Structure 1
Amino acid sequence: MSYTLINSIFKNYNDLKDRMVILLIFCLSFIIRLPFFFRDYIDRDESTFILMGQSWVEGHLPYTELWDLKPPLTFLIFGGIIYVFGKSFVAIRVFGALMVALTAFFAYKIGQEAHSKKIGFWAAISTVIMLSLFGSLQGVMSEHICMAFFMPGLYLLLKSKKPNYLFLSGLLMGMAVMTKINMAYTLVFLSIFLSYTEMRNRKWAKALFHTSLFGLGILLIIILTLLPYYLQGNTELWYKSVFRAPLAYIGARRYMWYELAPLYIVVVDFLILTYKKKLLDFKKVPILYLSVAILGVMYAFYKGGRINGHYLIQLHPLLLILVVIVISKLQFLKNLQWKPYFLLLILLIPMESYLEYINILENKIERGTFFNGEGISVPNYIQENELDTENILFFGYHIGYWVLDTKPPTKAATHPSNICRDELFPFYDNPRKTAMEELRYIMETIQPKTVVIRKNRRIFDKKEVEENEYINAYLAEHYHVQATVEKAEILQRLE
């Protein structure tokens, strides 16, 4: 008997219940991401979020003791996990798996509205894969949290124009923008489109009311993040850190246009081609909202001037729904018969997870623990050999501060690369004005007893020529290598 590739797996998608879908999606997310629960760190940004969250748990609002370039809700999420579960890599990574599953579930719900349960289901499966594999996506990034708020917010927005739906959608969108500030551009696009859909029918009062409710929900979340700073009389720090610093950052660190062009060419051509070939029904409200949201995200990337791999987390859940719809309409795939080797191809997709399962098993056999990485092994060595942990500097593996229960020497050192971002110093009132002043202050005034670097790697980005030359010469003159632990070198200051 002949079946299409998809129908050979599920015969009747209409029988799918929401609880069954969310269970399947979470199990897939959990299985793919499980072996990475035991890594010390997967992306340096995640390590920084953990440090900022820990600082908040200890009573310090973000930007007051430590500093990083993200809105406060990101740090609140990490702080909440730490407050409830303590210092647990596993708890943080389980939360990440939940966020991915939640995002995928609402990709399913939006796909169902846009076409069918079948489309929604495969969009959800694709979302889990694209948000969990390839690069540094196994960690918990701010984009993961952002989209876990944005996707249900978008679903409510396109599902109904009831006042409570619009206000709740606004609240969720406000949470999204307060975890990833560049989503503000997408929200502007959606707000304009929301107004347009009502005004086109000359419903001016309704358009104003609906857009106001949506905007009020967004504004309420922003105000709530400001409130603790207002109560402390520190609203200026909040404003400069949340809004002005990101603008300074993107102004100083933009990609060349040709580095951004390939993604724009692919996405815009996809939308134009599917419109011309009538592969997507742009008269459907969900298709329109998805298209507007995609254009909003693409505009945010353009304004940001750069597209790192993990930024695409903001694009994939939206685009995948449309891609799956288009694929389902391609005739040669409809006629495709099930072959056993298709299953093999599907099983090969999470190859990164298989390799990491092997890695943690080898680590368990060799060292008696599943937990692995220099962010764990280096602090263990430091504690076992009673090296100084109070005056310590991590140029690499800075999750070690958290493991050792200590702090970076300055605000700028919270994320090691921020030391070289002197364009950000004015926004948290850093006493030093340039990267070289900050670096000299740390090395020559604070004089850390212990320094951790990545073996055979540049300490700073290759563009930071002066900083790299200075730190290499200073470390060679004033420090010696105490030990090499995996891919890290632990340096001790010469007396």
Structure 2
Amino acid sequence: MKNLTTTFSFYLVFILFFLIYVRFNGLIFDAVSWDEAAYMTTGRDVANGLIPYKDFLELKPPLTFFLFSIPSVFFDDSFIAFRLYGYLFLYLSSIILFYIVSENHKLNLAVLFVFLFIGIMNYHFWLWNTSELITLPFILLSFLFLKQKSFFYSGLMISLATLIRINYCFTVIFIIFFLAYKIYRKEMKFIYLYRYILGGLIPLAIFIIYFYYHGALLDFKISNFDIFLAYSSENTFFSGIYNFFKAIFKLNYFYSYVFLPFSILLIFSLFGVKKDDYILRIYILSISLSIILSGHSYSHHFIQLIPFLIIFIAQTNFDWCNFTNRFKNFLLYTSILITFFISTFSNYKFIKEGKSIKSYHLYNKILTVIPAIDSNTKILALDYQIITWKYKSPRMSKITHTPSLFKKTTKTRIKPYVRNGIFDENYLDHLLNAKPEIIICSVRICEESRKSYEVEKISKLLIGYKEIYREPNVSKWEYTKTGTIIIYKSVN
């Protein structure tokens, strides 16, 4: 037993070193990420005592903000610490995945599946912190506890996951129906369903009490129910299916050296699963359905599926007994080696250039071109919100996700707030009259005249401002897109 524990611990250290090695470029990669900057801002807001939905609006469940407040408590303005915090969740997910997969395979093969997971998660648009990333340990633990028939803890974990990503409510519904069916077939006692529901209600009850105490219960309900329905209804079910498979195609096309071997491996596994794992199928099906129903299918939504697809692949035979299995092993090793070699090249380049990590971050460069900036400077960041986070600039809007301020869909999404007197319907007019000293924008929002944006109001906003700086090709956006940041300064 002692030797087994020592061996298991060795693999956990091995996984940690592999993760740090291949993920190191994520500390350098300063991307124009709307979500990450919003989480950095809302995390600090919660750490400073602000109440979600009442003092600021961000359409994510509440546990998201509280988890992202932890880096702000200890490292208030450290971009690197915030990234490393996300690595912690990736490592925890890797440990749980390793434990799950090791039940079917030897440890030396189980660790390869974890390396495959880490390699896939190294896709450039998944290097920064997302709600999908920090929810993985909770949703994986809910799966593990359910498999072990620890229903209370499974319900507790999936409740925490749902309080980070609301789409897991589909998984909850599927599991409750599955357990009810088992009870109907007399294959399970009702007490197990009761424990599952009880475990799930405890975190929700705590947040209900919290928001009731702070007079924000209606705000909580609207943000997590009404707005979720409005967001999901923006696309039809068929367009959701189309966007789902289009995203899969793009991932395989633009990140083919890792995703394509993984996809082929997944296809081979469809014909080689040894057992009927209904619980695993429920998780994969319900998460896939929730992505489809959201209608958007952004690539980072698929982060939620990756560990479960790897568990599915790991349930097949990988013995070197025939050509099919040898080919599957070839794909597995190829994906890992490609990730390793690409990371080696990136790390070698970093060492050779001899620069500090901070020197690669765009915000340090931009701060030098904005004159006389401090915490009192009124900055409206329609893109690249890291600047406002870094300098703790005063809020220009209650809406944290500022890139969506001038989106046409935002008007529809906030209607429940307007109806209940929580938010002013003319918020854009107030913003136009606020006269910030600095506006940070991008070609994407301020120059391309996209149909999804209020182009005329953006043009009106920029009257009385002059461009003082432009940084092209700052980082990759989804797939191959790049961003160009523009800094405007008031001439008045």
TM-score range normalised by the length of the shorter chain: 0.7 to 0.9
Tell me the equivalent position of 1:311.
Answer: 301
Are residue 280 (structure 1) and residue 277 (structure 2) matched?
no
- 1:78 to 1:272, Cα distance in 2 relative to 1, 3 A: closer
Alpha-carbon separation, structure 2, partners of 1:248 and 1:232? 25
Q: CA deviation at 1:362?
A: 7.9
Structure 2 CA distance for aligned equivalents of residues 338 and 218 of structure 1: 39
Matched, 1:233 2:215: yes
Question: Using the alignment, how far apart are the partners of 1:240 and 1:87 within structure 2?
Answer: 31
| One-letter amino acid of the counterpart of residue 481, structure 1 | E
Query: Structure 1 residues 121, 344: CA separation in 2 closer, same or farther (over 3 Å shift)?
Result: closer
* Structure 1 residues 449 and 458: CA distance shift in structure 2, 3 A: same
SS at match of 1:484: strand
Matching residue within 378, 382, 389 for 1:391: 378
Matched-pair contact (CA < 8 Å) for 1:412–1:419: no
> Residue 145 in 1 paired to residue 134 in 2?
yes
DSSP-derived class of the 2:468 partner: strand
Question: d(CA) in 2 for partners of 1:353 and 1:428?
Answer: 46
Q: How does 1:199-218 map to 2 (within 5 A)?
A: 199-203=184-188, 206=189, 208-218=190-200
Deviation at 1:77, TM superposition (A): 0.8
Q: 1:417 aligns with which of 404, 407, 416?
A: 404
CA distance in 2, matches of 1:251, 1:351: 43
The Cα shift of 1:73 comes to 0.7
Q: Which residue of 1 aligns with 2:164?
A: 179
Paired amino acid for 1:323: I
Amino acid in the other structure paired with 1:212: Y
What letter matches 1:183 in structure 2?
Y
Conserved 8 A contact 1:157-1:169: yes
Contact 1:42 1:136 in 2 (8 A): no
Equivalent in the alignment of 2:488: 491
47-56 vs 456-465, greater mean Cα deviation:
456-465
1:226–1:290 distance in 2 versus 1, CA, 3 Å: same
Q: Distance in 2 between matches of 1:346 and 1:274?
A: 18
Partner of 2:85: 95
- How far apart are the structure 2 equivalents of 1:125 and 1:270? 15
Spell out the pairing of 1:455-470 with structure 2 (5 A cutoff).
Answer: 456-459=443-446, 463-464=450-451, 467-470=454-457
Give distance in 2, aligned partners of 1:55 and 1:345: 40
Indicate the residue corresponding to 2:43 in structure 1. Answer: 53
- Aligned-pair distance for 1:418? 4.2
1:31 aligns with 2:16: no
Contact residue 89 and residue 137 of structure 2 kept, 8 A = yes
TM-aligned CA deviation for residue 192 of structure 1: 2.5
Report deviation, 1:484. 3.3
1:482 pairs, out of 468, 474, 477, with 468
SS in 1 for 2:445: coil
Tell me how far 1:56 sits from its aligned partner.
0.7
Aligned to 2:73: 83
Contact 1:387 1:450 in 2 (8 A): no
Percent identity over the alignment?
Answer: 21
Distance 1:308 1:84, change over 3 A: same
Deviation at 1:343, TM superposition (A): 7.7
Quote how far apart the aligned CAs of 1:288 are.
2.5
* Aligned residue runs from structure 1 range 23-422, under 5 A: 23-41=13-31, 43-114=33-104, 116-117=106-107, 119-131=109-121, 133-159=122-148, 161=149, 165-203=150-188, 206=189, 208-253=190-235, 255=239, 257-261=241-245, 277=271, 279-283=272-276, 287-326=277-316, 328=318, 331-332=322-323, 334-335=325-326, 346-350=336-340, 353=343, 357=347, 365=355, 370-382=358-370, 385-386=372-373, 389-412=376-399, 414-420=401-407, 421-422=410-411
CA-atom RMSD in angstroms: 3.6
Alignment: residue pair count: 460
Partner SS for 1:412:
coil
For the residue of structure 2 that corresponds to 1:63, the secondary structure is coil
For 1:9-20, what aligned pairs fall within 5 Å after superposition? 17-20=7-10
Task: Return 5+ residue gaps in structure 2 as ranges.
Answer: 253-261, 473-483
Asked if the contact 1:450–1:492 (Cα under 8 Å) also holds between the matched residues in 2, the reply is yes
Q: Which residue identity is paired with 1:411? A: K
* Structure 1: 5+ residue stretches without partners: 1-12
Q: Does residue 426 of the first structure (1) align with residue 423 of the second (2)?
A: no
